[in-house]
Structure formats: C-alpha cells, structure tokens
Amino acid sequence: MRFWKFCCSLKLAIVLATLATFLLMGGSLLFPGNSQLFDQLDQMVLSDWLVSFANRKLVLSWWFYPFLLLMILLLINTACCFIDWAFHLRSRWRKGGEYLIHLGIVLLLSGYILGALGGWRHIALPCTVGTLTPLLNWPGHYLAVDKFKPVIAPSGQPTDMISEVRLLAGEKLLLAGKVQINQPLLKNGLVITPASFGRKPEGFIFRLKGQPVTLKAGSLIQRQDGSRLKVLRFLPDARLGQNGQILYRSQRLGSPALELSFTTSTGRHWQGWYFLTQPPPPILRELQLRPLQPVFINYSSLTINYDPGARLAAAGGILTAIGCLLALVSFYHKRRKQDRPVI
C-alpha cells in the first residue's frame, strides 16, 4: 500500500520532471557543437540512434540514458496516478478532464516508445522515376515512383512535389497514391512524405555517323551492316585506377564514362570503357561517335517511415486535447469551491 502511494505520489512526479528538465536542458546545449552526433537523431528511430551513434560517443551522450529512464519513470508514475483515480472514480469523476490529460500523456509517451523500439525510417530516399527502390530497413519491399512532377513558381521556387507512388511487397501492391507537400500517404503506421527532388545524369546524346542517338545503360543499337553496340553501364563521374579498375566518384556529372560491348560487321567482339573526355577507343572509330549533351532523369526523394506507435500516440493526443478542454471547465469549478488536493 505504501509502495502504491509512493508510485502515485505527486511529489515524486515533480522530482522526476525537474531532474529530466535539467538533464535535457544541459544535454541539448551540446547539440549545436556536435551536429554529426545529434543531427542523426531525426534520421532514424531512437533505438537505432542509441545503438549506432550514442553508444560510440558516450562522453557526449551519457546524459541521454538517465533522461530516458526518468521519462519512463514519469510515465509509470503518471499511469499509476491515473489508475488510482480510476479506482476512485465515483468520488473523483469531476476531475475527469485533468485525468484525461494524464491518460493522454501516458498513451503519447507509450506510443513514442513503441515507435522508437519497433519502427524504422528512410529519410529523403532518392527514388528514380520508373524504377524500383529497395527499402533497406524493410527487406523484400520496394518503393516505385511512377510519375513525378515538381511545381515551380514563376520566381523559380519549387512550390510542390507531386509523386505517384506504389509500395510493393515483392510483387504484391501494398499501397498506392499521390504524395504532395503536407499531403502524405498514410496506412497502418506507414507514412510517405515528399522530401526533395533533383535530376541525375543517366546517359549522353551522341552523333553516330551524323545521326543523333541516346546512349544510356541498356541501350542497344543494331546497325544495317550487322554491327551491334550495347551500353552496359553509364557512370557520370568515373576514373581509371592505377591497376586498371574503374573508380566511381560521384552521382554528379564529372568525367562521364560508358561501358560498351561492340561487335563489328566482321564479327570481332570488344568490351571496354569509353571515357567521354578522351577520344573513343580505336575499334569504335568506324562509328564516328561525337558526344553532344547529357541526358538527365528526375528523381523524387521521399521519406518513408514506419511507426507502430503512431495510432497510440494519436489516441493519446486526442484524449489530451479533450482533457485540456474539460480541465478548463473544472479549473474554474475548483476555483469556486476553493479545493486543493491532499498532498
């Protein structure tokens, strides 16, 4: 009985909240100077951050652990306080508003913990239009952006990013729809929102014996004389390493290169790299290739997160909001009656 009273104690709540406040105040002042560590907090769920980042920099992150412990104790304290009230509902129903707030907070915090333990995040995942992007945190699942349209204001500022999206489990369609700024796609704790967009080089337009052709990964050109040119890979920025291997440098256009497979009209076969900043390899000379301009493809960066606690948190939020309105009424009622709880 004494232990239960301790668990329901208001003074305990004040002590826990005060300690948590001080810890978080002090700890948060480390955020600006240590962005490599703390900027990651929003990039993943909390349990992932604790395991992959906080653990490795305990000098900076130690305070996070007692802070979380205090919040969990406050959660238990608040839950006990609510249960105690519920057992005395008949005499204390007038405090319904206050206690709805308490229950709401319990659900909100529980929802956060559930999401932090069982959820995952992909923040700003670049999804090329027309291809499947695998979700590393959800093996076997893919995101497909079928269409993407940025809306650009006359000033040049983007005002919206509209993506038509499908979420697939292998071949099975789980979710499909349009994603826009402030209009995410939601289902069972999954949320897909637009993050940004861009374009990346995917090949080059060439003049081939005077005729324009587009060469990108997968292009195949079958000529009347029987020769055959196939593009195996396109790298926007590549370099030849010292022992002959190809080094891939970046997604941006730098020193572009094509890996080609070519069969001449006489049946000779060649496979190798053509660096566009240099003349073509001798065997390709008969094609009279002249690079003209790069070809770009749009990609839409989407955020896809899974939060198994989202519904619980939403329920907590609704209860807290209703509780706030009821507590307003009961505050003035208590005022008139001059009552104070027994401490």
Q: Which of 136/328 has CB closer to ligand HEM? A: 328
276 neighbors 293 (Cβ within 8 angstroms): no
Q: What is d(CA 27, CA 8) in angstroms, rounded to the nearest whole number?
A: 28
Does 141 sit near other proteins (CB under 8 A)? no
Angle subtended by helix axes 96-118 and 310-337, to nearest 10: 160
Contact with ligand HEM (CB under 6 A) among 23, 70, 105, 312: 105
Q: Which of 8/215 has CB closer to ligand HEM? A: 8
Between 264 and 303, how does the x/- string for binding to other proteins read (CB under 8 A)? Answer: ---------------------------------------x
Phi-psi region of 128 (alpha: psi -120 to 50; beta: other; left: phi over 0): beta
Q: How many Cα neighbours within 13 Å face the side chain of 238?
A: 20
Does 343 sit near other proteins (CB under 8 A)? yes
Q: What is d(CA 328, CA 323) in angstroms, rounded to the nearest whole number?
A: 8
Does 160 sit near other proteins (CB under 8 A)? yes
Q: Which of 112/148 has CB closer to ligand HEM? A: 112
Q: What is d(CA 119, CA 310) in angstroms, rounded to the nearest whole number?
A: 10
Between 101 and 140, how does the x/- string for binding to other proteins read (CB under 8 A)? Answer: x----------x--x-----x-x-----------------
Does 52 sit near other proteins (CB under 8 A)? no
Taking residue 269's Cβ as centre, other Cβ atoms within 10 Å add up to 10
Does 307 sit near other proteins (CB under 8 A)? yes
Binding segment for ligand HEM (CB under 6 A), chosen from 4-12, 37-45, 156-164, 278-286, is 4-12
CA angle 233/237/239 to nearest 5° reads 90
Does 174 sit near other proteins (CB under 8 A)? no
User: Which does residue 8 bind out of ligand HEM, other proteins, none, counting CB within 5 to 8 angstroms by kind?
Assistant: ligand HEM
300 neighbors 145 (Cβ within 8 angstroms): yes
238 neighbors 269 (Cβ within 8 angstroms): no
Q: What is d(CA 263, CA 226) in angstroms, rounded to the nearest whole number?
A: 8
* Helix, strand, or coil (residue 190): strand
User: Which does residue 247 bind out of other proteins, ligand HEM, none, counting CB within 5 to 8 angstroms by kind?
Assistant: none
Contact with other proteins (CB under 8 A) among 130, 134, 140, 158: 158
Contact with other proteins (CB under 8 A) among 252, 335, 336, 337: 335
* Helix, strand, or coil (residue 119): coil
Q: What is d(CA 108, CA 314) in angstroms, rounded to the nearest whole number?
A: 7
Q: Which of 78/301 has CB closer to ligand HEM? A: 78
Cβ at position 313, least distance to ligand HEM in Å: 14
What's the residue count for the chain? Answer: 343
Q: How far is CA 112 from the centre of its chain?
A: 17
Chain residues in the site for other proteins (CB under 8 A)? 10-11, 13-14, 17-18, 20-21, 24-25, 28, 31-32, 38-39, 41-42, 101, 112, 115, 121, 123, 158-160, 181-184, 191-193, 303-305, 307, 310, 313, 317, 320-321, 324, 327-328, 331, 335, 340-341, 343
